[in-house]
Amino acid sequence: MLIRKETAADYDAVYSVVKRAFENAEHSDGNEQDLVNALRKGNAFIPELSLVAESEGKIVGHIMFTKATVEEKIVLALAPLSVLPEYQQKGIGKSLIQEGHKIAKKLGYTHSIVLGSEKYYSKHGYMPAENFGIKAPFDVPSENFMVYIINKYDDEIHGTIRYAQEFGIN
Ligand SMILES: CC(C)(COP(=O)(O)OP(=O)(O)OC[C@H]1O[C@@H](n2cnc3c(N)ncnc32)[C@H](O)[C@@H]1OP(=O)(O)O)[C@@H](O)C(=O)NCCC(=O)NCCS
């Protein structure tokens, strides 16, 4: 299994991977695949941080980190993360997260924020964001809004996250 940067040739396959991954997901609005398409066209997109998992030439997973802000500071938002149902439970999600963190570290980002299962993301170093002064722009149990510290940072970071406009939240 290979984790690599997504290319334009992968877009259709990624669309269907995201759609199928979220079809039976606990939390889904059914539009995650369209969100990925919209994010790619926006200012928050970071090509190096849209990654695919490839197995025997087939795209089986995808992860995207986009730029968000807390006050004026840039942070990453991890969303969405998708693995084809028949490829789940094999560590592909974990590999996508870890590779994403590695690249993000090289690029100098300091924080990755995620909204998701505390059971899943805590295994990958995510901690409640409120402990780091970062608030969600919507009501959410504090354990589900999490941050991973990618690089040490000097500046204080306090405030409510502003997601890319494509998320339709702000
Ligand atoms: C979440 C997802 C990306 C995980 O991918 P994966 O490749 O199966 O994950 P991994 O193999 O790295 O890890 C599997 C572990 O995570 C756990 N896990 C998977 N999804 C979980 C969830 N929604 N809540 C809690 N734990 C979860 C599994 O039980 C398993 O735990 P174990 O190692 O103790 O057995 C995948 O299940 C998926 O695409 N789900 C649908 C879309 C979705 O919900 N995305 C996340 C939105 S934030």
Ligand 1: centre distance to CA 145 (Å): 16
- How many Cβ atoms sit within 10 Å of the Cβ of residue 14? 23
Contact between 44 and 66 (Cβ < 8 Å): yes
Contact 96 CB / ligand 1 (< 6 Å) = no
Residue 1 Cβ < 6 Å to ligand 1: no
Closest CA to 167 of 63, 74, 38: 38
pLDDT tens over the chain, length 170 residues: 999 999 999 999 999 999 999 998 999 999 999 999 999 999 999 999 999 999 999 999 999 999 999 999 999 999 999 999 999 999 999 999 999 999 999 999 999 999 999 999 999 999 999 999 999 999 999 999 999 999 998 888 999 999 999 999 96
State the distance from the centre of ligand 1 to the C-alpha of 85, rounded, in angstroms.
10
Give the C-alpha distances (Å, rounded to integers) separating 167 from 36, 40, 73, 158. 10, 12, 18, 21
Does 116 contact ligand 1 (Cβ within 6 A)? yes
Provide the whole-model pTM. 0.96
The reply to whether ligand 1 has any atom less than 6 angstroms from the CB of 30 is: no
Cβ 97 vs Cβ 81: under 8 Å = yes
Ordered structural domains, the chain, with CATH: 2-167 (3.40.630.30)
- Is 138 strand, coil or helix? coil
Residue with tokens 């993360």: 81
| CA nearest ligand 1 atom 37, residue | 88
